[in-house]
Structure 1
Amino acid sequence: MTATASPQQGGRWKLFLIIAVCAAPIIASYFTYYVIKPQSRTNYGTLLDPRQYAIPDLSSKALDGTPTTLEAYKGKWLMVQVDSGTCAKDCQEKLFEMRQLRLMQGKEMERIERVWLITDDKPVDSKALVPFDGTRMLRVNPEKLQAWLPTEAGTTVADHIYLIDPRSNLMMRFPKDADPNLVKKDLSKLLRASSIG
């Protein structure tokens, strides 16, 4: 009796072992998805919820004083930076980066506009800005702007480049001193994935 029970028990253990080996990947995937919850983030910039950051009335004007809004560029992807009209070194570096990032998109660059939101009434040195020709410049109400644009801890709105989609939704913020190559990848992915703008 004992001799015949032993092969049966051995067969059962083999069956359980086969079932366990087959079930292990499924159990591991469920455990990983529901317990560990891996991050599938592939973007460099911080995605923003457009429902939280609808473009407000910024009391914006062109440099000649003509009232205008960011919605005037609806239908285009907008790279936006914020700074004083004096546009010191950091400001000019961001203007340069935005120009280069647009150029790096090749034939897709026409889908992108560059916008500089100026937060004061200081005069803009047009000669110093010749290399950044084509950048749209709007003077805005600084308090309304601060209330609208989100920042990372320890930074100001002037530290970031923001991205607005062709439907006028604020949807991404790039970090302070952003890596241009990683920003380029984000822009390229968005332009490839989107048929608008």
Structure 2
Amino acid sequence: MQTPRPSPSAVNKARAQQQERAPGSWNKGRWMLVLLAFVCAAPVLASYFMYYVIKPTGGTTSYGALIEPQRPIPEQLVVTDEQGKPMPLSALRGKWLMVTVNSGDCDEKCVTRLFFMRQVRVLQSAERERVVNVWLRTDNKPVSSVIQTAYPQPDMRMLIADPKAVAAWLPAGADSKLTDHIFLVDPNGNLMMRFPKDPQPEKIKADLAKLLKWSRIG
């Protein structure tokens, strides 16, 4: 028995219905792609929104003082590495940097800051490899063997830098000196935060942990 063929009018009607449905299906697919892209970008967007748009004041989430406007690492800021070779400080982009400044004869407060920086980094657990501690030394005095042993490379970089160039980039607080602070630089090379004089390491840890959680850069 031969199967009856559909009439030309039925075929035309089916084609018309398919054409009516096609634009809607295409629009739905396009919006799904947009939604997927937004979900993938959300962690990075959230971290920058929290720290660059919402201004932490008073009893809000940030312990460190936000630096505004952003101060990228100056391209002309050249430091001397541990092997005595010059390198631009901007070569360290790609990691979160905790930075402190002091002369080579590191006093008690300097040693305390180095200790705090090491502990804050270690306490980030699996995320600690995203963080590098940087001691910008403002002279070429030799570092004691005790400090070198306690803070080895590459977790702590001990770099000699011109104090005037460093002071032009890193701002001190209103009632403090440049050497009183620990600074935080994001993986894009932008100076982001300045932590208070005589800092509380548990609060630095909390700030850094939030940034590492919400941002996948670095």
The TM tier, using the shorter chain, reads 0.7 to 0.9
User: Is 1:71–1:168's contact at 8 Å kept on the other side of the alignment?
Assistant: yes
User: Is 1:50–1:169's contact at 8 Å kept on the other side of the alignment?
Assistant: no
Aligned residue among 156, 159, 172 for 1:151: 172
| Superposed displacement of residue 39, structure 1 | 6.0
Compared CA separation, residues 88 and 108, structure 1 to 2 (3 A): same
CA distance in 2, matches of 1:193, 1:40: 20
Query: What does residue range 77-92 of structure 1 map to in structure 2 within 5 Å?
Result: 77-92=96-111
Q: Which residue of structure 1 lines up, in the alignment, with residue 143 of structure 2? A: 124
Q: Which residue of structure 2 lines up, in the alignment, with residue 175 of structure 1? A: 196
| Superposed displacement of residue 181, structure 1 | 1.0
The alignment-based identity, stated in percent, is 48
The worse-fitting range, judged by mean Cα deviation, of 79-88 and 39-48 is 39-48
Query: Structure 1 residue 46 and structure 2 residue 65: aligned?
Result: yes
User: Is 2:79–2:86's contact at 8 Å kept on the other side of the alignment?
Assistant: yes
Aligned residue among 77, 84, 90 for 1:58: 77
Helix, strand or coil: the match of 1:187?
helix
User: Is 2:100–2:134's contact at 8 Å kept on the other side of the alignment?
Assistant: yes
User: Is 2:78–2:89's contact at 8 Å kept on the other side of the alignment?
Assistant: no
CA distance in 1, matches of 2:68, 2:174: 18
What are the superposed Cα offsets for residues 111-170 of structure 1, whole Å, 9 maximum, x if unpaired? 000100000121211333311123101101111111111111121111000000011111
What are the superposed Cα offsets for residues 32-59 of structure 1, whole Å, 9 maximum, x if unpaired? xxxxxx86731000111253x2212223
CA distance in 2, matches of 1:64, 1:176: 31
Helix, strand or coil: the match of 1:158?
helix
Query: Which residue identity lines up with residue 93 of structure 1 in the other structure?
Result: T
What are the superposed Cα offsets for residues 80-136 of structure 1, whole Å, 9 maximum, x if unpaired? 000001111111111111110001001000100010000012121133331112310
Structure 1, unaligned runs of 5 or more: 1-37
CA distance in 2, matches of 1:97, 1:186: 14
Structure 2, unaligned runs of 5 or more: 1-56
| Superposed displacement of residue 60, structure 1 | 1.0
The worse-fitting range, judged by mean Cα deviation, of 134-143 and 39-48 is 39-48
Query: Which residue identity lines up with residue 54 of structure 1 in the other structure?
Result: P
CA distance in 2, matches of 1:83, 1:146: 11
User: Is 1:50–1:170's contact at 8 Å kept on the other side of the alignment?
Assistant: no
Q: Which residue of structure 2 lines up, in the alignment, with residue 161 of structure 1? A: 182
Helix, strand or coil: the match of 2:68?
coil
CA distance in 1, matches of 2:128, 2:147: 23
Query: What does residue range 67-106 of structure 1 map to in structure 2 within 5 Å?
Result: 67-106=86-125
User: Is 1:50–1:171's contact at 8 Å kept on the other side of the alignment?
Assistant: no
Q: Which residue of structure 1 lines up, in the alignment, with residue 158 of structure 2? A: 137
User: Is 2:79–2:161's contact at 8 Å kept on the other side of the alignment?
Assistant: yes
Q: Which residue of structure 1 lines up, in the alignment, with residue 36 of structure 2? A: none
> CA RMSD of the aligned region, Å?
1.6
Aligned residue among 125, 130, 143 for 1:111: 130
Q: Which residue of structure 2 lines up, in the alignment, with residue 185 of structure 1? A: 206
TM-score where L is the length of structure 2 = 0.69
